[in-house]
Amino acid sequence: MWIFLFTFIENKEYPMKNLTYLTCLLLVIPVFSVFSQGVGINTSSPQATLHINGSLKFEPKVSDATRLVGVVPNGSVKEFELGQTFNIESGTLEVIPSVDPNVFLIGDVDQSPTASTISQYDNYDIGVSDANIDKAIIRVSGETNGYTVTGFADGYDGRIIYFYNAQEINVTFFDLHSDSDTKNQILTGSGGNEAINSKGVAEFIYDGSLEKWILINLRT
């Protein structure tokens, strides 16, 4: 549907009572269609009060926006803090999905590129501070032979990882092995090395005061 807007602009050289000398401005805007059931943009059958068929881009007028104001289903207005569920990045509104705290996210480490060349992983970078920063379960695959781990990189106080050996080989974790940096070493608690079998899981927590990965549970 086309919307026609008429605006009369007064001509200062003639009296207002003589409409012959008024300038008529016609503005035609092919923006949206108006129907009794709602307003549709790029759609002739809106399914809501406002129905947009296409993309929506939000550009804040100020660079330091801290909140959004929206209308919830019951019609009331609600404010949403940025940085929690919503974020504005380079003028684009991003929706941050909420995460169930009872669900452990799974990250993947593919050892295929190093399977034939490395049998002992020192200061092992499994993405704790980057690729798998939000993952608790680290699913390791791609290895073809048994191997050992002497330590993990980038530990920080309270960080928990579940090392899931999703392959058909065994993995051995060395206790306080000097081939890894002191801050990356594993403390097994038994004073000896510990291993998990195929599909086994080893649970670690990083102790910031000891600067060690503490092995707290094995599911072999």
Q: What CATH number is associated with residue 207?
A: 2.60.120
Q: pLDDT tens digit string along 113-133?
A: 998 899 999 999 999 988 999
**pLDDT at residue 80 in the model:** 63
**pLDDT at residue 65 in the model:** 61
Residues 154 and 206 in one domain: yes
Residues 157 and 194 in one domain: yes
Residues 124 and 211 in one domain: yes
**pLDDT at residue 22 in the model:** 38
**pLDDT at residue 167 in the model:** 93
Residues 36 and 5 in one domain: yes
Residues 80 and 168 in one domain: no
Residue 90 has pLDDT above 50, yes or no: yes
Task: Please state the domain count of the chain.
Answer: 3
CA 93 to CA 80: how far, in whole Å? 12
Residues 117 and 215 in one domain: yes
Residue 75 has pLDDT above 80, yes or no: no
Q: Residue 5's pLDDT band (boundaries 50, 70, 90)?
A: very low
Give the angle 166-153-118 at the CA atoms, nearest 5°: 55
Across the chain, what does the average pLDDT equal?
Answer: 79
Domain limits for position 153: 106-219
Q: pLDDT tens digit string along 100-113?
A: 777 889 999 999 99
Q: pLDDT tens digit string along 35-64?
A: 556 788 888 888 888 888 887 766 655 556
Of 98, 122, 149, the one marking the end of a domain is 98
CA 177 to CA 185: how far, in whole Å? 6
Token pair recorded at residue 88: 């504005």
- In the block, tokens 């910031």 appear at 208
Give the angle 18-22-25 at the CA atoms, nearest 5°: 155
Name the more confident of 11 and 162.
Answer: 162
Q: Residue 220's pLDDT band (boundaries 50, 70, 90)?
A: confident
Residue 181 has pLDDT above 90, yes or no: yes
Residues 202 and 111 in one domain: yes
Q: Which amino acid is at 10?
A: E
Q: Which of 30-34, 57-61, 168-172 has the lowest mean pLDDT?
A: 30-34
Query: How many of the other CB atoms lie within 10 Å of CB of 187?
Result: 18
Residues 133 and 207 in one domain: yes
Residues 194 and 160 in one domain: yes
Residues 49 and 61 in one domain: no
**pLDDT at residue 138 in the model:** 96
Residues 190 and 90 in one domain: no
Residues 94 and 151 in one domain: no
Token pair recorded at residue 16: 């207002």
DSSP string, the chain: --EEEEEEE--TTS-TT-GGG-EEEEEEE---EEETTEEEES-SS-SSSEEE-S------SSTT--EEEEE-TTS-EEEEEBTTTEEEETTEEEE-----TTS--EEEEE-GGGTTT-SEESSB--STTTTTTT-SEEEEE---S-EEE-BBSS--TT-EEEEEE-SSS-EEE-SS-TTS-GGGBEE-SSSS-EEE-TT-EEEEEEETTTTEEEEEEEE-
